[in-house]
Amino acid sequence: MKLCKMGVFFLLVMSIFFGAAQGTSSYAKPITLETIIVTAPKEEGGEKSIESKTLKIHKVVDLAEVLSGEMVEATMVRKGAYGNEVAIRGFGQSNLRVLIDDGLLEGACGSRKDPSLSHINMLTVDRIEVRQGPFDVTKAGALGGSINVISRKPQKEFTGEIIVKGGSFDFLSGGFYLTGGTDKIQGLIGYNYSESDQYEDGDGNKLWSFAPAGRPFNADGRDMKAFEKQDAWGKLQLTPTENQTILLSHTYGDAEDIMAPRVGMDMESEETYLSRADYIITGLGAFSNSLTISLYQNRVEHNPYDKYRDIVGGPLFHRHNEVDSTITGTKIENEQSTNLAVFTYGIDMYKRDWEGDIYRDDTGAIFDEELIPDVDTYNYGVYVKADKYIDKWSLGLGLRYDRFETEANEDLKQSLAAGINTNKNTDDLPSGYLYAKYYLAENAHIFGGIGRSVRTPTSVERYLQSPSPNFHGNPDLDPTKNTEFDIGFQTTGKRFGFRIKAFYSDLDDYIYQQGKQTADSHQTWTNIDTHLYGADVRVTLDIISDFSVDAGAAYQRGRKDSQPEMNNDRDLAQVPPLKTRLALHYDRSDLFAILEWIHSEDAEDVDIDAGEQMLDGWDVLNFRAGYDYRQLTFNVGVENIFDECYAVANSYEWDVVGGEGATPAIVYEPGRFLYATISHRF
């Protein structure tokens, strides 16, 4: 990694050199960095824009942390300095679909130590589209919504950027991208390296201190880095005619020694391979406005180990995992305008191959006998949606059908002990939505919709074969069905904006963890019925000159209608309490500043029987500022100005290799964090 550090230093020198060189020329137009677009469901009235510079001004490389900071409806589950998880309106993990350029992306870890967003580098991102609720039939398995990361495309003009970040706890990140070409061929290449030491929380506790009691860090682990990660990517775009585009892309990511104090193992290495090919043709007459054919493969090789942990209570040897997950998919989508409506219809399918085993470090022998028993997953989907404008009305309808097949290609030995041995499952899954938006005036409308979405059990939930004989997947799990109602109002004026929306989700066969309280009982996953409801509000107001105020609040609550075995708590797990955000913005063409206050109420409505903990409420104050000088951009910031000690959210998900479904630890947030960024665009 010394070579990588030298590369970062070289990028910093080059950035300063280019900035000085630009200073000798005529004044250039101030740089406006890319905007993250958060796309709400159409019921809300289209897209809302999180202000520009967002990707560059945050302190870390973690998209989950950015979304949690920018959206009051989003909550992060802290897993370490890198590789965190995000939930939207109480829907997280497998209940929230994550995609990269419309291609399904999943991590390989059964304990979700590598959430989907952790495999995407920030410099590759052009925008992020977040869709809330079951109002998108173009994506399979989006139970509570989806996060679709749209990556940067090659451009004909020769442009690029060099960016270097540094901050507290020896955080360092440096990277670049270059793009350019001709009318017929355009290319893009990029690289980024990031690393960080362990952070300390507001009370001075280092990251290693949050590990569970049964797997504390040893002396070497207490001195290890929090993570090291590098990514390289390239794209080639061919435009043989004005109405045809062929886009080829590949991204490679390599991470080493990623601390995961929340569970019993860290990651020795993790490699990501994201490949994609798109063919887009437009202007096909009455048949098609735009036809897109896509093929992608997203592969993750995930290798946890516990060599940096002390083994308490057995086994009497260290272990490592070898887990691979490969998703191969294709999609054909056509958009067509007719006198009746604008139709979008298509077919998509994907195959996921997921397998993993645990090995003894002392002998190299396999330890678990099929942890994830080589599961093949197939999903075949067909969909159609129609959008229609009639006077003051905007109407939408979507229908989708999926056939979902899973098969474990190895024995389910632990499941046999529970009297279950279904190695193969097939599910037929209809879904759809209906929405309407009515304009009360040109700048004000009400909206509402009803939708139904589904999500299928994961390979871990159905087929996990843990080393513990009483901890395993449940092949008889049914898919979860979400029937949701959304309603809201939105208006904008010359100097203000206001939006409020509410939702109610009735969740049938919700997939939930079933605990163990006796020696012969089984820890597994089961189906329950539950409901989830909430509301959020956002107000923006221009006050004086270049100052504005942005305020928001979000609340959600989940309650069980039926109970898992050995669980009498009615509260639904992983539903965050009330969260509010108040931000003062100063923004002009070359200078911006943001002072924000984020507040969370006490987390009291938690599932104690599932292992969740009550958490104290918290308040945190952050500051960010940036300045554009010709071709240079400077950003500085302070997160957690008053060095508060707090934890953001619970997570009741089990550590599937920690033994008996060990309850994960709570990882507290970093203390005061200062950082700065310098970037040069040309």
- 453-492 confidence digits (pLDDT tens): 999 999 999 999 887 777 889 999 999 999 999 999 999 9
> E-assigned strands of 361-495?
372-390, 393-408, 424-441, 444-455, 480-492
Q: Please spell the DSSP secondary structure of 82-105, one letter per residue.
A: S--EEEETTB-GGGSEEEETTEE-
* pTM given for the model: 0.91
pLDDT bucket at 416, cuts 50 / 70 / 90: low
Q: Over 90: is that where the pLDDT of 406 sits?
A: yes
pLDDT at 445: 96
For range 409-415, the mean pLDDT: 83
pLDDT at 90: 94
Q: Over 50: is that where the pLDDT of 261 sits?
A: yes
pLDDT at 49: 40
CA distance 633 to 291: 39
Q: Over 80: is that where the pLDDT of 126 sits?
A: yes
Q: Which residues of 150-166 are buried (b: 16+ CB within 10 A; e: fewer)?
A: bbbbbeeeeebbbbbbb
Q: Which residues of 596-618 are buried (b: 16+ CB within 10 A; e: fewer)?
A: bebebbebebbbebbbbeebeeb
**What pLDDT digit, counting tens, does each position of 61-104 carry?**
788 988 898 899 999 999 999 889 999 999 999 999 999 999 99
Q: Which domain holds residue 597?
A: 2-681
Question: 536: closest CA among 464, 488, 466, 491?
Answer: 488
Q: What CA dihedral angle connects 280, 290, 274 and 229, to 10 degrees? A: 110
Location of structure tokens 């998880």: 85
Residue 609 or 487, more confident: 487
**What pLDDT digit, counting tens, does each position of 11-23 carry?**
443 333 333 334 3
128-132, 289-293, 336-340, 617-621: least confident range: 128-132
3-class DSSP state of 557:
strand
**What pLDDT digit, counting tens, does each position of 499-530 carry?**
999 999 999 999 999 876 666 677 889 999 99
| CB-CB contact of 558 with 610 (8 Å) | no
| CB-CB contact of 60 with 564 (8 Å) | no
For range 560-565, the mean pLDDT: 94
Give me 298's structure tokens: 């997203």
Percent with pLDDT over 90 in the chain: 74
214-228, 292-306, 458-472: least confident range: 458-472
Task: Please state, rounded to an integer, the average pLDDT across all residues of the chain.
Answer: 88
First to last CA, the chain: 28
**What pLDDT digit, counting tens, does each position of 22-67 carry?**
433 333 332 222 334 444 444 343 344 444 356 667 777 788 988 8
Q: Over 60: is that where the pLDDT of 651 sits?
A: yes
Q: Over 60: is that where the pLDDT of 388 sits?
A: yes
Percent with pLDDT over 70 in the chain: 89
pLDDT at 32: 28
**What pLDDT digit, counting tens, does each position of 176-203 carry?**
999 999 999 999 999 999 999 999 999 9
For range 490-499, the mean pLDDT: 94
For range 375-388, the mean pLDDT: 97
pLDDT at 653: 76
Question: 147: closest CA among 78, 76, 58?
Answer: 76
For range 256-266, the mean pLDDT: 93
Q: Over 70: is that where the pLDDT of 632 sits?
A: yes
| CB-CB contact of 297 with 277 (8 Å) | no
| Number of domains making up the chain | 1
CATH code where residue 503 lies: 2.40.170.20
